[in-house]
Structure formats: C-alpha cells, structure tokens
Amino acid sequence: MLKKLSAALAAGLLASVLTACGGGGADTATGGDAGSDKIVLGFSQVGSESGWRAANTKSVKDSAATAGIDLKFSDAQQKQENQIASIRSYIQQKVDVIAFSPVVVTGWDAVLKEAQAAKIPVILTDRAVDSDASLYATFIGSDFVKEGEEVGKWAVEEFKSATGPVNIVQLEGTVGSAPAIDRKKGFEATIASNPNLKVIASQSGDFTRAKGKEVMQALLQANPKIDLLFAHNDDMGLGAIEAIKAAGLKPGVDIKIATIDAVKDGMTALAANEINFIAECSPLLGDQLMELTKQAAAGQPMEKRIVTKETTFTPKQAAEVLSTRQY
C-alpha cells in the first residue's frame, strides 16, 4: 500500500481487490483510508471466545488507532479455515504487514509461504505455530509452559501436607492450540515432583465459560472426589464454579481452583475466594504489536521471540489490585 501509484490507478486496483476479496464480510478496517500512505496491518483474530480475547481485540484496535496504523481486522470464529482465508485476502490486498493469533499450532506452512513470496512480513501474536521460524518475522506472546508451571508450583505448595492422593481434574483449552498444549505440559511436569498429585480426568472446555460449565458437570458426576480443578483459562473456571455450586459444593473450599488469565471476572472470583490462584496472561499486546508492525514494514530486524511480562495472584493480591485492572 505504500507503493506510489497514480490516484486513478490506485483507486481502480483497490476497487477490484475489494470486490474480489469481500466474500463473507468478516474483515473490517479502522484507523485510516485504504490507499493512503499509512502502514496497513491485516490482523486475523482467533475469535471472541472469552473475556481475555475481548480485551486483546480492544487492545489491538485501540493501539492501531493511536499509532495511526490502518488496521484491517477479521474474526475467525475459532476456525482455521477462516483465518487462512483472511490471510490470503490480506495478501491479495497487498497489506504491508500481516499479524494473527493462530487457532491451532499446525497447518500454516502453505499460507505463510504465500505471504513470504508476496514479501509481506508476518507477526504471530499470543499463540505459536509449528512452522519453520523463517516463515514469520517474530512471535510475541506469553510463555504458556511457564504459566502451567506456575500453577503447578502453587499446587505442590498448597497440597504439600497431603498424606494421600490429591485428585485433580483439568479443563483444557481448544484441542491443538498452543496454550492448551503448553499449559498442560508445564503443569503436569511440575506436579510430578509430588506423587500424591494425580490428574484423574482431563477434558477440553474450548476456552469458553459455557463449555467449562458443561464439562465440569460431567466431571463431577463421574468423579465423586475432586480436590483441585485446574482450568486453562478464567472463563472455563468461572463456568466450572457454576457447576460446582449447582452440585451443592463450595468453590475454593470443597474444590480448590486454579486458573490462568487474570481477567476482571476471574480476579473478582479470586478476591472472593471462589478461585484460589491465578497465573496472569496479559491480553494487552496492542502497543507492542504496533511497534513491531512499524519495524516490520520498515524492514528492520527484530527478535524472533518476545515474551510478555506477567505475574501471579492470590486472593489477597487480587483484592488489592482489582479496582485498577484494565481488563
């Protein structure tokens, strides 16, 4: 888009591109007029499955507007085929940079090679892929393995005095997604240091509150003794709390609960002692993404992996910071 074309030619090309790529109406543009000299960023969001994702989307849109970047945004509704279609649309539109949060880890080689052939740099946000690192410019996001390890460390400490089995159920994220794979890996590797800690059931709740409630209801029926629930995100944990209450149990007491994200609703439940521990996963990646977009558009080198800084929270800590949380 930064190429110098005559006004008439640019308008003609833009009209034809938009006509060819407008199917589905998923893409929206904010921040400036197409055909201007602004940097154009095509961003494919994984979906709107949780409060975390809503905060992440807002961060990206707000930061693009502040940075003066023309943002083309699409919501993949948690479907890989939608993301691939959006990325191909951005390639056809000749955007300057493409960024996306991949719904799953595998299956990206072909479209990433297409972007590379078009000389459009790609930035991965929030989630990783298993493609060769030469196919994307950088990956910015959390260390999901570390998040799982933080929950595992808390569980080991929380149940260090247990003399018998500690029955754990796990609500995993979307099957095949990087956070689901890595959080499970980090958690289970860490609790292995205490043989009393046993994961007796593990099932996907697809990162949604409704699915978290549904799966937890089934887990409660199948497992009469559950000591700890580890949910891969706050929303699934909040759904599970509804199921636990409906079963006549007290969340945070009868069943200890640990989650990941630290969104406002999760932190509220933590401060109320319905959740016992949260490892933070910050969705506020917008400002960093826009800086990386500028660097990528300018052809500047950047680190291949940028890890966001995050912390953990106990109920007391949640109560202290709840009023100042941005998401």
- Beta strands per DSSP E along the chain: 27-30, 40-45, 70-75, 97-100, 122-125, 138-141, 166-172, 197-204, 228-231, 256-261, 277-280, 305-307, 312-313
Least confident of 23-37, 110-124, 184-198, 228-242: 23-37
Per-residue pLDDT of 38-61, as tens digits, reads 999 999 999 988 889 999 999 999
Q: Which of 28, 56, 29, 96 is nearest to 207 (CA)?
A: 56
| Neighbour tally for 72: CB within 10 Å | 22
Q: In sequence order, what DSSP letters do the residues of 117-154 get, joined into one string?
A: HTT--EEEESS--SS-GGGSSEEEE--HHHHHHHHHHH
Average pLDDT, integer, range 91-112: 97
**pLDDT for the residue 61:** 97
Q: What is the mean pLDDT of residues 126-138?
A: 96
Give the whole-number percent of the chain exceeding pLDDT 70.
89
Token duo for residue 166: 């500690």
Residue span(s) of the chain under CATH 3.40.50.2300 come to 7-140+283-307, 144-281
Q: What are 252-275's pLDDT values in tens digits?
A: 999 999 999 999 999 999 999 999
Q: Which helix (H) or strand (E) holds 263?
A: none
Question: Which residues on adjacent β-strands are paired with residue 71?
Answer: 30, 41
Query: Which 8-state DSSP code applies to residue 248?
Result: T
Let me know: does 232 contact 171? Beta carbons within 8 Å.
yes
CATH class of the 7-140+283-307 domain in this structure: alpha beta
Beta bridge partners of residue 319, listed in sequence order: none
Token pair belonging to 61: 């849109």
Task: State the Cα angle at 103 between 109 and 45, rounded to 5°.
Answer: 105
Alpha-carbon distance values, 324 to 54, 59, 104, 283 (Å): 18, 16, 33, 15
Rounded CA separation 283/261 (Å): 8
- 144-281: CATH topology is Rossmann fold (3.40.50)
Closest CA to 152 of 175, 168, 174: 168
110-139 residues labelled b (16+ CB within 10 A) or e (exposed): ebbebbbeeebbbbbbbbbbebeeebbbbb
